[in-house]
Structure 1
Amino acid sequence: MIEVRLPHVTFHDLGDAVRLIWRETLYADFEKGELERVIRRKFRVSPEITVRDGVLIIDTDYEKVESFVALYIQNNLGALLRNRYTNRKVLYIHEGMDVPLLGYNAFGLIDRGTNLIQIRGVSGCNLSCVFCSVDEGPYSRTRKLDYVVDIDYLIKWFDEVARIKGKGLEAHLDGQGEPLIYPFRVELVQALREHPNVSVISMQSNGTLLTDKLVEELAEAGLDRVNLSLHSLDPDKAKMLMGRKDYDLEHVLDMAEALVNAGIDVLIAPVIIFGINDDEAEAFIEFARKIGAGRRWPALGFQNYIPYKFGRNPTIARVVPFKDFYAWLRSLEEKTGMRPLVLKPKHFGMEKREFIPLAFRPGEVVKAEVVLPGRIKGEMLAKARNRLIEVINTDAEVGDRITVRIVRTRHGIYIGTPV
């Protein structure tokens, strides 16, 4: 019997196939028949393939089979990788691909002219919130694939951004979805903690994937704060808002307390949809007080629901003007004594910093190379001047060289249309 073990991998038997789960968040299915065929062609043996206790078992005593199968799996893994939470195909972005990590919203780095840098190592989400601004999650009707950025490549680009932006940075792990599905989540926090230009490491999360063990690992790695997406304290209403019948509110509440006990500050961040959960505002405040949230930063960050063109916009949602929303927050401050609820950059130590210089001007026409498919129909990603451009309304393919008119450059996110 030969046992095949790979780092951070467990195997599961699916009958006709073997499922490889890598770092808890990604998976790839290998047909048993195909594995047996490649072994037979190479070694003239016909072994049976099974799984026992998460280990791949090959019924042969020929020792060279182990290294051969391990290499075969590693060589074919990239083409088969899928997101364990969305079941979508995953594109694994590494240094050898020479894909810029500035210019696109779904992965990489975003600079909005402050000392806070958004870090997006992954796309995708394990929930399908009914108000999601980017139609994320397993029930998405528009997102067709996900991205994962290799941690070494992500840190390499962060080094360059940090060099330009200076010291005293807040590294904020967020994304179009749930950052905790990033396979290198703990290692990323640790690498950022060791960076001389980083003062604060924060993370956006819905909290569902947290465990006591993961909380401890994140605390030891140096995570400072979690902005917790918690939208109702009623179990049934929470399931409706989160778009999942299996949403476990009690677990999320327990993990919020575990974070605080581990020394990680928590900011409760509900999206308020008036007529649905605005009546829970005082309950959110009480919960924040109960667990000791907001030790270093504000304890709550109420957000006003607004509809988005490519988001999920429930018909039951009532849109409230921001003027009225802020008046509502001020009345809550007076009634509950919880301050601040009207949040400002100064509450988080945010300050204006010079933008990373723009690579393109609005209206400019540039030559670009298509390097990746986009996430929605008619979208492709092209590169030029060491930046990514989201090209919309195109039928171009990877490898094509195209002419693009830049239509948007806000915060270094570049959108273009084919000329």
Structure 2
Amino acid sequence: MIKIKFSYSYFEDLGESVRLVWRNTLYADFEKKLLARVIKKKYRVKPEITAQDGYLLINVDNPDVEKFITFFIQNNLGEFLRNRYTRRKVIYIHEGMSVPLLGYNAFGLIDRGTNLIQVRGSSGCNLSCVFCSVDEGPYSRTRKLDYVVDIDYLMKWFDEVARFKGKGLEAHLDGQGEPLLYPFIVELVQALKEHPNVDVVSMQSNGMLLNDKLIEELAEAGLDRVNLSVHSLDPEKAKMLMGMKDYDLNHVLEMAEALVNAGIDVLLAPVIIFGVNDNEAEAFIEFARRIGAGKRWPALGFQNYMPYKFGRNPAIAKLVPFKRFYEWLRELEKKTGMKPLVLRPEHFGMHKRKFIPLAFKTGEIVKAEIVLPGRIEGEMLGVARNRLIEIINTNAKVGDKVKVKIVRTRHGIYVATPV
């Protein structure tokens, strides 16, 4: 009997297939018939294949079968890889693909002209918030695939960006979804914290995937702050806003306190939908005070709900102009004594830095090679001048070379349409 187990992975038996779960956030299903067929073709034996206690079990005694099937699974992992939470196909981006990590919103690096660099190692989310600006999560109707960037490749690009931007940087882990879905999250925090140009490593999170062990690992790796997305302190209302019946508010609140106790600062970041949760503002402030949030940075970052073209825009949402929103925040500051609630970049040590030079001008016609499918229908990703370009309203396929017109360059995010 051969027993196979990979590092940071385990196998599950699904009856007709076996599932390889990798680093808790990704999985790949292999049909037992497929594995048996390739073994039979190579070794002229008819094996039985099962999974038990995390191991893949094959009832043959030939040690060469173990090496062969291990290689087969690893070599075909990319074809079957999926996000464990969204169930979507995952494209694993590594150095051998020569895909630039500047130019696109869903993964890679984003420079917005400050000393803060956004680091996006993956896409996808475990929740489906009713106001999500990018229609993320298990119930998304528009997102058709996810990405994961190899950590060594991500750090190679980060090093180039950091050398250009200089010292005193904040590396902020965020993305179109939940950063804790990134399978190398602890290693990424440590690599960023050890970078000579980085002073602060921070992260967005909805908190659901946190546990005591992970918090301890993140603290040891050097994570400085978590901007925690908590939108209601009422369990039922929180489930509604987060779009998931199994959302566990009590767990998230316990994890918020555990983060503070581990030495990781917490900023509570509720999205305020007036008429829905604005009446909880003082309760948020009281909770932040009770757990000791905001030791080094502000304790709260209230956000005003805004609709987005490709997001979810619930009927319950009442739009409030930003002028009125900031008046509301100032009234809260006076009433509760909690300051600052009207946040400015200097509260986070943010300041302007030179932009990475733009590779394209708006209106420019360029020739791009299609290298990846995009996340929504009619979207493909092209490469030109060592930058990614999001090409919309296209029927192009991977491998095509197409002329496109650049229609957006803001903050080095390039969007183009076919010519």
**One-letter amino acid matched to 2:260:** V
Residue 107 of structure 1: aligned partner: 107
Residue 335 of structure 2: aligned partner: 335
**Counterparts of 1:374 and 1:34, CA distance in 2:** 30
**Counterparts of 1:38 and 1:284, CA distance in 2:** 58
Corresponding residue SS for 2:369: strand
Identity of aligned residues (%): 79
**One-letter amino acid matched to 2:351:** E
**Counterparts of 2:35 and 2:7, CA distance in 1:** 20
Residue 178 of structure 2: aligned partner: 178
Alignment of 1:133-172 (within 5 A): 133-172=133-172
* Deviation for aligned residue 1:12: 0.2
**One-letter amino acid matched to 2:276:** I
* Deviation for aligned residue 1:50: 1.1
Instruction: Indicate whether 1:418 and 2:418 are aligned.
Output: yes
Instruction: Indicate whether 1:319 and 2:315 are aligned.
Output: no
**One-letter amino acid matched to 1:317:** A
**Counterparts of 2:392 and 2:192, CA distance in 1:** 33
**Counterparts of 2:250 and 2:85, CA distance in 1:** 20
Corresponding residue SS for 2:250: helix
Deviations 1:337-392 (A, max 9, x none): 00000000000000100000000000000011000000001000000000000000
**Counterparts of 2:34 and 2:51, CA distance in 1:** 16
Corresponding residue SS for 2:324: helix
* Deviation for aligned residue 1:24: 0.4
**One-letter amino acid matched to 1:66:** E
Residue 128 of structure 2: aligned partner: 128
**Counterparts of 1:229 and 1:148, CA distance in 2:** 22
Residue 211 of structure 2: aligned partner: 211
Residue 45 of structure 1: aligned partner: 45
Residue 80 of structure 2: aligned partner: 80
* Deviation for aligned residue 1:407: 0.4
Residue 57 of structure 1: aligned partner: 57
TM-score of the aligned structures, taking structure 1 as reference length:
1.00
* Deviation for aligned residue 1:61: 1.1
**Counterparts of 2:358 and 2:74, CA distance in 1:** 38
Residue 382 of structure 1: aligned partner: 382
Instruction: Indicate whether 1:288 and 2:288 are aligned.
Output: yes
* Deviation for aligned residue 1:5: 1.4
Residue 198 of structure 2: aligned partner: 198
**Counterparts of 1:34 and 1:340, CA distance in 2:** 60
**Counterparts of 1:112 and 1:408, CA distance in 2:** 14
* Deviation for aligned residue 1:52: 1.4
Deviations 1:34-58 (A, max 9, x none): 1011111111111111111111111
* Deviation for aligned residue 1:18: 0.1
Deviations 1:126-172 (A, max 9, x none): 00000000000000000000000000000000000001000000000
**Counterparts of 1:162 and 1:293, CA distance in 2:** 29
Alignment of 1:239-318 (within 5 A): 239-318=239-318
Give runs of ≥4 in structure 1 deviating > 6 Å: none
Corresponding residue SS for 2:29: strand
**One-letter amino acid matched to 2:140:** S
**One-letter amino acid matched to 1:82:** R
Residue 407 of structure 1: aligned partner: 407
**One-letter amino acid matched to 1:75:** N
Corresponding residue SS for 1:236: helix
* Deviation for aligned residue 1:9: 1.1
* Deviation for aligned residue 1:265: 0.2
**Counterparts of 1:384 and 1:117, CA distance in 2:** 22
Cα-Cα RMSD: 0.4
Residue 97 of structure 2: aligned partner: 97
**Counterparts of 2:406 and 2:389, CA distance in 1:** 8
Tell me the matched-pair count. Answer: 419
**One-letter amino acid matched to 2:222:** G
Structure 1 gaps of 5+ residues are none
Corresponding residue SS for 1:330: helix
Structure 2 gaps of 5+ residues are none
**Counterparts of 2:88 and 2:5, CA distance in 1:** 25
* Deviation for aligned residue 1:19: 0.4
